[in-house]
A and B are shown apart, each in its own frame.
Chain A
Amino acid sequence: GENVGLHLPTLSVQEGDNSIINCAYSNSASDYFIWYKQESGKGPQFIIDIRSNMDKRQGQRVTVLLNKTVKHLSLQIAATQPGDSAVYFCAEKTGGGNKLTFGTGTQLKVEL
């Protein structure tokens, strides 16, 4: 399988529990943030995004929280399922361009 999980922080949760994955971003001028999920052997997939004028956004089973004061982003997954096992990483965008800066990721492992 893919080795993108090496050297990554790992979060292990029981199936059915809630998961919280954290990300510290670097640029206080960043105005748009995304969470991606990357399953083994696949490219990253978009989960949810949030703009800097918001502090919370909810999707289906996922919630993103943004704390601009401490430059912190979190992804909450409700009722974690085995299919949620993947590497999750955040990305930030600064200004009007299209470039994203990515975090290094967190490996989520769901235990049955």
Chain B
Amino acid sequence: DVKVTQSSRYLVKRTGEKVFLECVQDMDHENMFWYRQDPGLGLRLIYFSYDVKMKEKGDIPEGYSVSREKKERFSLILESASTNQTSMYLCASIRQGAGEQYFGPGTRLTVT
């Protein structure tokens, strides 16, 4: 079974802090994604990566950056956390050419 893990289930940070969210997948997938999920808005794509050191902006990249130094790991970085970044963050991965994305359990981030 594909396994996508995220470093924290719950995280509380203060406004202005730098926040790192880590995601690891164990199936050698080329593509990895970061989404945020908010009530009534569904999943919105922040960034994705189709290879090591490659990244592309999704629909809502403002306020975020990403890092993909190794194939199995995709990090989401909030350079200076703000309260409007309080959300559920979901990581996903997919093999190139496949259909479904496999999701991690999510990180509930609260910025106070």
Contact = CB atoms under 8 A, between A and B. Distances in A.
Nearest to B91: A43
B96 interface: yes
Q: Is the interface of A mostly helix, strand, loop or mixed?
A: loop
Nearest to A45: B103
A100 B101 contact: yes
Given A6-B40, A8-B39, A8-B40, A99 B45 contact: yes
Nearest to B4: A43
A32 B45 CA distance: 18
B45 to A, nearest CB: 7
A68 B88 CA distance: 32
A65 interface: no
A4 B101 contact: no
Interface in B43-58: 43, 45, 48, 50, 58
Interface stretch (A14-22, A55-63, A74-82, A101-109): A101-109
B100 A4 contact: no
A4 B88 contact: yes
B94 A98 contact: yes
A34 interface: yes
A34 B99 contact: yes
Interface string A78-112: 00000000000100010000111011110000000
B31 interface: yes
B104 A99 contact: no
Contacts of B101: 98, 100
A42 B107 CA distance: 10
